[in-house]
Amino acid sequence: MYKILIVEDDAILNNTLYYNLQLENYEVESATTVKDAIQKMNSSKIDLAVLDINLPDGNGYNLCKLFKEQHDVLVVFLTANDMESNALKGYELGADDYITKPFSMPVFLKKIAAILKRTDKKINTDIYNDGILSIDFDAANAKLNSENIIFTPLEFRMMKIFISNPSIVLTRNMLLEKLWDANGNFVDEHALTANISRLRGKIETNDKKYIKTVYGMGYMWLGD
């Protein structure tokens, strides 16, 4: 059973989320402050944290950064600010999704279930096969409709990043940081754009698209 931590200072909303998540058979903890949230996180194995951005003794951004650095936990932001910059900042801190207030409870519950479900699928990313595209990262080979594809080492690394993070917006900064290897080889924004374009040319067809451009934010892997 998944355990979810709600961090929301609005008592009515906090209680409503708590009650509805329990009805969906989740274990639920709740907190109204950053201090309380850290205590709950440190004393229990939390799978997913639902964070309000504005809290009485801090903010959800710093809490997200702390949780991602110290715990293997999923993060969903609740925000009253329907602004691209807020979403972008959240994603760059590692957030898995965000929900803008006000929201309907069915939509909230569906999002939580979808995030937990796609996490279950991120177990083995050494081999990818959806029946059309197949990649063996250990053997460094790939095929599209049984035809061999030649990837450069950088393209293999990019594919690994995308496949390891399905249905998640990866900002350009996140991709650039992940692609900066241990030898200090640097990938700039122009090279990133060019390589994504080449990747699309190698793996996509008129009927099947894998990489979605999220305008103003980054890219998302659409594969299974």
Range of the domain at 174: 127-221
Residue 182 is predicted with a pLDDT of 45
Provide the domain count of the chain: 2
13 and 49 share a domain?
Answer: yes
Residues 192, 198 contacting (CB under 8 angstroms): no
Residue 1 is predicted with a pLDDT of 82
Q: What tens digit of pLDDT does each residue of 147-157 get?
A: 999 999 889 98
100 and 178 share a domain?
Answer: no
94 and 172 share a domain?
Answer: no
Residue 149 is predicted with a pLDDT of 94
What SS3 string covers the chain? CCEEEEECCCHHHHHHHHHHHHHCCCEEEEECCHHHHHHHHHHCCCCEEEEECEECCEEHHHHHHHHHHHCCCEEEEEECCCCHHHHHHHHHCCCCEEEECCCCHHHHHHHHHHHHHHHHCCCCCCEEECCCEEEECCCCEEEECCEEECCCHHHHHHHHHHHHCECCCEEHHHHHHHHCCCCCCCCCHHHHHHHHHHHHHHHCCCCCCCEEEECCCEEEECCC
Residue 32 is predicted with a pLDDT of 95
Q: What tens digit of pLDDT does each residue of 94-126 get?
A: 888 888 888 899 989 998 998 887 766 554 557
Closest CA to 141 of 155, 121, 122: 155
Residue 121 φ then ψ, to 5°: -80, -15
CATH number reported for the structural domain that contains residue 147 in this entry: 1.10.10.10
136 and 115 share a domain?
Answer: no
- Is the CA virtual torsion 89, 84, 120, 123 positive or negative? negative
Residue 181 is predicted with a pLDDT of 59
Q: What tens digit of pLDDT does each residue of 165-212 get?
A: 888 889 888 888 888 754 556 678 888 899 999 999 999 988 899 999
Percent of the residues in the chain that have a pLDDT greater than 70, as a whole number: 91
109 and 179 share a domain?
Answer: no
Region 23-45: what's the mean pLDDT? 93
User: Among 44-48, 119-123, 125-129, which range has the highest average pLDDT?
Assistant: 44-48
Residue 83 is predicted with a pLDDT of 63
CATH number reported for the structural domain that contains residue 94 in this entry: 3.40.50.2300
Q: How many residues does the chain have?
A: 224
Against a cut of 0.95, is the pTM above it?
no
62 and 110 share a domain?
Answer: yes
Residue 123 is predicted with a pLDDT of 47
Q: What tens digit of pLDDT does each residue of 55-100 get?
A: 999 999 999 989 988 887 899 998 776 666 677 777 888 888 888 8
Report the mean per-residue pLDDT for the chain: 87
Q: Would you say residue 51 has pLDDT above 90?
A: yes
